[in-house]
Amino acid sequence: MSDIKLNANVRSDEGKGASRRLRRLEGRVPGIIYGGKAEPQSVSVLQKDLFKALENEAFFSSVLTLDIDGKEDKVILRDLQRHPAKQQLLHVDFQRVSANTKVHVKVPLHFLNEDSCKGVKAGGIVSHTLTELEISAPASKLPEFIEVDLANLDMDGVLHISDIKLPAGVESVDLSHGTDHDLVVASVHKPRGAIEAEAEGEAAEGEGEE
């Protein structure tokens, strides 16, 4: 579980003009917090605090503590809108959660033993097809990341979602849709140069036989 905490203020002014003033004059990002038994509430968060939180990958997949004028809520980040051209955040959405709230989030994959796996030792290289995984879990069991051990991945080997050992209480959203959604996570293959060299060698052998 993450211990990330953000301070927020209740926001009373609504509308695009008020949001622009908030961002330009006060350096704050307008947002909303919703969910649970309470009504949606408009808030604002200092942009510099959000940028600092964004440096931590756990910010996207963990339960956060949002202090709203002294009242704390447990939330998860639901949406973050960025300016398409400027280094600026436009809007942030938070969802209230309790320990047992079941949520869907994407968590990063951390690959272990990549440089020492069997396929790499045999001259292969690792390709990552997925770098994050969508999961479903109670808020209290959300992992900050999921470890993927590649130690036994052989040359031309393929690792699927079903090969990943997920923490207790955590389920893959893709696998919940059936085995047809058991996506490739990583694989080991020969470098392009080695494949081309083998092909040229085989062609030369064929010409010699003729």
pLDDT in tens, 129-168: 999 999 999 999 999 999 999 999 999 999 999 999 999 9
Q: What is the pLDDT of residues 25-37, one digit of tens each?
A: 788 999 999 998 8
Name the residue ranges covered by the structural domains of the chain: 5-97, 103-195
- Average pLDDT, integer, range 53-60: 92
> Cβ–Cβ contacts within 10 Å for residue 70, how many?
6
Residue 54 dihedral angles phi and psi, to the nearest 5°: -70, -15
- Average pLDDT, integer, range 72-90: 93
Rounded Cα distance, 27 and 20, in Å? 10
Please report, in angstroms and rounded to a whole number, the separation of the first and last CA atoms in the chain. 67
Predicted TM-score (pTM) of this structure? 0.81
**pLDDT band with cut points at 50, 70 and 90 for residue 6:** very high
- At 141, the amino acid letter reads K
CATH number corresponding to 103-195: 2.170.120.20
**pLDDT band with cut points at 50, 70 and 90 for residue 107:** very high
Which residue has better confidence, 164 or 207?
Answer: 164
What is the pLDDT at residue 199?
46
5-97, what's its fold? Ribosomal Protein L25; Chain P (2.40.240)
